[in-house]
Amino acid sequence: MTSLYLLFSTSTVILAFLLLHYFLSKPKSKQLPNPLPPGPAGYPIIGNLLQMGPKPHRTFYALSLKYGPLLHLRAGAVHFVVVSSPALASLLLKTYDANFSDRPYTSGAKYMSFGRRTISMSPYGPRWRLLRKITTMHVLSAKPIDASRRTREEAIKSLITRLAARQGSAVEIGPCIDECITEIMAHSIVGKRFFSGPNAWRVGELKEVSMELITAMGEFVVGDFIPSLKWFDLGGTVAKMKRTFTRLDRFLDGIMQEHRTDLTVGLEDKDEDLLSVLFRLKECDGELIDDDIKGVLADMFIAGTDTAASTVEWALSEMIRSPDMLQQAQQELDLVVGRDRLVSESDIPNMPFLQALVKETFRLHPATPLLLPRTAAEGVEFGGYHIPKNATLVVNAWAIGRDEKSWADPLEFKPARFLPGGESELADMKGNNFEFIPFGGGRRICVGMNLGVRMVLIMTAMLVHAYDWALPTGQSPDKLSMEEAFGLSLHRDVPLNVCPKPRLHPRVYE
């Protein structure tokens, strides 16, 4: 009885507080230049929060079919404007790009981005431009990407060798891909020796911390939408964010301190890595602080690995579900490369079907289904509607990839659409074709796009070249679940368990 009484009393107080806040903070009626975009009616105080569902990208897509491609919802006190068509995405991310170049200040940004010092969450301005310039110049432009080719191929070759020992048994392939890409990024960012040999345990540690952070960032925080309830940490989400951030901070601190020691005694790697560059710039220019460096490392480690790994897994899933596509990809690989060696990145330009298959994977399974949200710096009149100042803009890349006006048979996995002579032969992912924007567009387009695409292409090529892939005995390809688990990145809901069978000359696996 006592616990029931306390629960009833607490609920009553919270409800009374919410009602008081709602009526006191309700804006006075004033004539807007234009109405808000259409959308479903919400509830007092919470707005449409309960209507967004566990997979918002699908909810927004369904609502756009009813209300149109420019959709308005209210999550507590926050206005959401959701864009679900290429034409509107082009207008907002090109014509109005300057007005929508900032990020909302959420609990995730506050507690887990080193004070908004990551490239992805940093406010639009001089520091963001500096961090973007540094990472692009030293890691993400063509020259450093080409220079790190051997690192990628060696790491994937190591995975190929390990998988050979598992032939005949089922393997959960997602974590294998994840760990391999984490190792590749770690070698490029902080140097090979920090994640190999006696330090190999760091790969698993980093992956574990990364997954905790991604999960926490995707969770609901009531105070982000109802400011008067910031004190009420429903479900302990904010506390979890703080714990995860503390763990990440300590992990990066340890690497940075060890790296500084190596630089001091002359043990650094022969090739200058990103962390060495950041230390040098900090000492020379004085524009960076340690939290800036940690923010860059966190972005590269976390955003740079999870999205690429999930895309490779989706590509394998689609080929396993359609064995004829797997066979076509392998025939192209055998024709260009043969079976006496593994495919390399220099072979990829000669493989139009593989490139088309990866493009189609990005279209149907964008790693970030809802592009990272943006904030309206000022209210704008757009398409006959008013978008309020501080509204959160969400571009539904998942829905745009299914736009019937842009794609023939949009729900079908058809790589041929990107082949020479196909209806989308010239479509690219660089933000120029707004019907195809898995990496976004405008000023805040994903800085790691070029490296991400290169990583997905070579990882997919090497896995498909080296092995025949089949489901465990008793499972039918046409019954393979393709359900999604929503988060900051789009993962399979059911892990992909597969049986690899070597198909190349035995010495390739040595």
Question: Angle at the Cα of 248 (from 244 to 252), degrees rounded to 5?
Answer: 170
Q: At residue 497, what is the residue type? A: N
Provide the annotated binding site.
446
- The answer to whether the beta carbons of residues 502 and 466 sit under 8 Å apart is yes
What is the spatial distance between Cα 101 and Cα 250, in angstroms, rounded to a whole number?
31
What is the spatial distance between Cα 318 and Cα 105, in angstroms, rounded to a whole number?
37
The candidate with the shortest Cα–Cα distance to 443, out of 142, 96, 117, 141, is 96
What is the spatial distance between Cα 44 and Cα 22, in angstroms, rounded to a whole number?
8
What is the spatial distance between Cα 207 and Cα 49, in angstroms, rounded to a whole number?
31
What is the spatial distance between Cα 269 and Cα 193, in angstroms, rounded to a whole number?
8
Length of the chain counted residue by residue: 510
Q: Which residues contact 358 (CB under 8 A, 6 or more apart)?
A: 311, 315, 453, 456, 457, 460
Provide the annotated binding site for heme.
446
Residue 4 CB neighbours (<10 A):
8
Question: Angle at the Cα of 108 (from 235 to 78), degrees rounded to 5?
Answer: 85
